[in-house]
Every structure is written in C-alpha cells, then in structure tokens.
C-alpha cells in the first residue's frame, strides 16, 4: 500500500517515519529545499532520527517529493500542513486549501484522505471534502477521515506509537479503513462518533493547557504582589493528590499549537453564538506576560532600560527544540527594544533567527531567561550578567517570577 503524506514538517515527517515501517511512503512537501534535504537522508525535525530516515530510503519505503503529480498512485493520503492564524488572528485554512488542490487535481482513483492538521469542528466535512471535490476534474468518491495529531516534538516518553489516537470517518467505511491504517503503528486507537468530536477534542486539549497556563501566569503576578514565592505555593498546592494539576508560569506561550488552536475554537464558538470568554482572556493574559516580565526587569534596574545591554537567553518556544514559531521571546525582545535596551540573544539550538545570530552567553548588563535548554548550564547563565531574571524557574539564584 502506498501512503502519501502532504507536509513534511513536525507532524508529517514524524508520521512518515512511523508509517514507513509498514507502508511505502511518499512525503510531499511544497518546499523543494526540505525535499532535497530529506532525500539526502537529513531530518530537519527534532525527534526524527536521520539514521531511521536513511534506512527507510534505502529500503525503498520513503521518498520525498515536491511534485504534486507523485500523489497520483497513493492509496491513502494524510494531510499534515500548517493551520496558522492570519495577521488579524483568524483561522487561516489557505495551506489546507492548497493541499486539497493537490489531491483534487492529481488523484484520479478513490482513496482514503485523512486530515491530521488541527482545525475547528466541521473542517473535514464542510471544508476539506468540498474543496477536494471542487478541484477534481472528474467525480470521484473519496473516503474522508480525521485523526488529529497529538505529537509533542522533542518528547521522549510519548510518541506516535504509544499516544492514544482519536479518529472518526465521515462514513463507517472511512472509519474502518482509518483504523486499519493506524493500527499498524499505533497501540491504542479511540474511535469517536463523528469527525466534529475528534476535531473539537483536539482543540479542547490545547485550550485546556492555554487557559491553565494563563491562570498560573496571572497567579505568578498575584504571588509577587503578595511577596510570596509562586513556585513554593504551586509545589504546596501540588501535594494534593487529586483535583489539582500543576502548570508553571512563563514569559508566555509559543509554538504552533497553544497560542493558535484555542483561537480556532473561539472563532467557531462565536460563529455559532456561543461565548469564548475564557479562551479570549487567556490568550490576552499569556500575550501580556512578556510586558509584565520586562516591567519587572525595568523596575529592578532603576526604572530605565535605556542603553543597557540585554541578553535574552533561549528564544525557542520550549526547551531543547529549534522551533521559534510564536515564541514569547519575540515579544520580550520587542518590549526591551521599545524601552531603549540594546538587545541580543543566545540560543545555539536556534542558531539564527529574524536575520540575527546567537550571541555568546556573556558580557551583558541584563540576562533574561525565556527558555532554558538542558545543555545551557545554570552557572553560565548566572555568570553572563550582573543581573539575571529567570522566567523558567530553573535558574536558582536568579531573580524570577
């Protein structure tokens, strides 16, 4: 069986490697540079081992392509393309539409189309199916299913095999075929009654995280105003064996999921006349954290940052990955610069970003830790500036939330 996977990023490449153990995989990506790199056996995604990729290529089980016509003889098509927000923070389905165009224009036989991209309830039924049909030159009855992706890049304990996978087809036949496909490489499959339930569950999982992160970020501000330690208070609350789940404060949330997915849920809620007040406010609280952090740094430094050299330590959105999408570091840097600080950043995993490169971890007036990668030593951070503010809770001896 031939499986075409559209989008070879965090989700698509990860799935390609797992599925490639059992099926012949065509990894379709519109970015030719990524395709060339992959065909040379080089993975650009943390958690996808280049050695495994090379083994799949050698065994004829994996090939990357930028040619949409290579999709034509697939039996199963998995869509794993970005679902970001537009400039005015509305759901942006342009990448999904382009993926549907590639399927519609190139696949002439009935196949199983599975969407793994995160989007609002109704996307499979009311957007993907009609979109593929719109682009098809002949009338073909494909099978359609959703299986929202839960991968957490860089995570060691949970992967595609041992993370339970939700799925639902538009028809019973689509559900059965989807189960057959994933059961090769996933231990636990959970069928739900409709694609809309699966789509909503994925959004609610990430909304749950977004709201709880906002709550703990607000609580960090309350704890500081009360003169108590937020971390000690959270540890104390966490001794309760039930009814509490610990989240930790930060400079804000980043990545392609937590700052984005809840807005998809809010948008569809409001379209249906339902309130999304928690979701909207949580988003604001998380976005405002960068300003709060810089306010604290400014207050500790005589009320002015003008002319001070500030080093932002860690610009990836989370530890041990190079992903800078929606990173809180961007807003932190913007606030520092708006107040006249001379800003550089240190992150050797990211390397280069926004036309700038990682600076040495030393010689600043102020160091502000946004993300602490495991291989960046606490003592090196503390030695990098006379004043260190840590938003991660991982640098003991520094000022912090």
Interface residues with ligand NAD (CB under 6 A) are: 6-12, 28-31, 34, 80-83, 95, 98-99, 102, 116-118, 149-151, 153, 256-257
Give me the least distance between CB of 110 and ligand NAD, in Å please.
21
CB 194 within 8 A of CB 168: yes
> Whole-number minimum distance, CB 101 to ligand NAD, in Å?
7
Give dist(CA 70, CA 287) in Å, integer: 42
**CB closer to ligand NAD out of 79 and 368:** 79
262, exposed or middle or buried, with CB in 10 Å at 0-12, 13-18, 19+?
Answer: buried
Give 57 or 383: the residue with its C-beta nearer to ligand NAD.
57
Longest dimension (CA), the chain: 70
Q: Which of 362, 355, 397 is nearest to 376 (CA)?
A: 362
Place of tokens 């208070």: 233
Scan for tokens 């501000």, then name that residue: 221
Give the residue closest to ligand NAD by C-beta: 9
Question: How far apart are alpha carbons 164 and 150 in whole angstroms?
Answer: 9
Closest to 364 (Cα-Cα) out of 276, 305, 318: 305
Q: Which of 257, 329, 341, 367 is catalytic?
A: 257
Q: Which is nearer to ligand NAD, 47 or 249 (CB)?
A: 47
Contact 300, 389 (CB under 8 A): yes
Query: Nearest approach, Cβ of 161 to ligand NAD (angstroms)?
Result: 16
Q: Whole-number minimum distance, CB 94 to ligand NAD, in Å?
A: 9
**CA-CA-CA-CA dihedral for 131, 74, 64, 14, to nearest 10:** 80
Closest approach of ligand NAD to the CB of residue 270, in Å:
20
257 tagged catalytic = yes
Only one residue has tokens 């804000």, namely 252
Q: Which residue has the tokens 């073909």?
A: 140
Pick 149 or 196: Cβ nearer ligand NAD: 149
Token pair in block for residue 269: 């809620």
Specify the residue, 6 or 128, whose C-beta has the smaller distance to ligand NAD. Answer: 6
- Which residue numbers are catalytic? 257
């Amino acid at each position: 069986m031939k499986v075409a996977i559209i989008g070879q990023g965090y989700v698509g490449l990860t799935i390609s490697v797992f599925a490639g153990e059992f099926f012949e995989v065509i990894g379709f990506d519109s970015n030719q540079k990524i395709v060339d790199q992959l065909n040379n056996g080089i993975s650009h995604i943390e958690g996808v081992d280049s050695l495994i990729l090379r083994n799949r290529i050698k065994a004829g089980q994996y090939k990357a392509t930028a040619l949409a016509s290579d999709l034509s003889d697939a039996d199963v098509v998995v869509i794993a393309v970005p679902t970001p927000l537009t400039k005015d923070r509305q759901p942006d389905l342009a990448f999904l539409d382009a993926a549907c165009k590639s399927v519609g224009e190139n696949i002439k036989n009935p196949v199983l189309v599975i969407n793994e991209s995160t989007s609002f309830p109704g996307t499979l039924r009311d957007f993907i199916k009609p979109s593929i049909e719109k682009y098809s030159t002949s009338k073909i009855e494909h099978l359609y299913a959703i299986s929202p992706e839960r991968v957490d890049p860089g995570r060691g304990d949970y992967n595609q095999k041992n993370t339970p996978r939700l799925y639902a087809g538009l028809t019973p036949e689509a559900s059965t075929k989807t189960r057959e496909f994933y059961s090769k490489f996933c231990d636990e499959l959970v069928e739900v009654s409709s694609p809309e339930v699966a789509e909503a569950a994925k959004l609610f999982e990430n909304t749950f995280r977004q709201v709880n992160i906002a709550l703990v970020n607000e609580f960090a501000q309350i704890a500081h105003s009360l003169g108590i330690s937020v971390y000690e208070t959270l540890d104390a609350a966490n001794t309760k064996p039930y009814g509490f789940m610990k989240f930790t404060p930060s400079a804000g949330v980043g990545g392609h999921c937590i700052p984005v997915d809840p807005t998809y849920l809010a948008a569809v809620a409001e379209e249906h006349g339902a309130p999304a007040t928690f979701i909207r406010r949580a988003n604001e609280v998380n976005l405002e954290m960068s300003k709060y952090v810089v306010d604290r740094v400014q207050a500790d430094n005589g009320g002015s940052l003008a002319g001070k050299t500030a080093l932002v330590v860690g610009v990836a959105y989370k530890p041990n990955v190079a992903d800078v999408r929606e990173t809180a570091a961007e807003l932190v840097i913007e606030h520092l610069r708006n107040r006249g600080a001379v800003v550089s950043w240190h992150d050797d995993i990211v390397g280069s970003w926004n036309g700038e490169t990682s600076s040495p971890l030393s010689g600043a007036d102020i160091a502000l830790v946004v993300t602490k990668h495991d291989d960046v030593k606490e003592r090196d951070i503390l030695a990098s500036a006379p004043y260190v503010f840590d938003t991660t809770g991982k640098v003991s001896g520094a000022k912090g939330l």
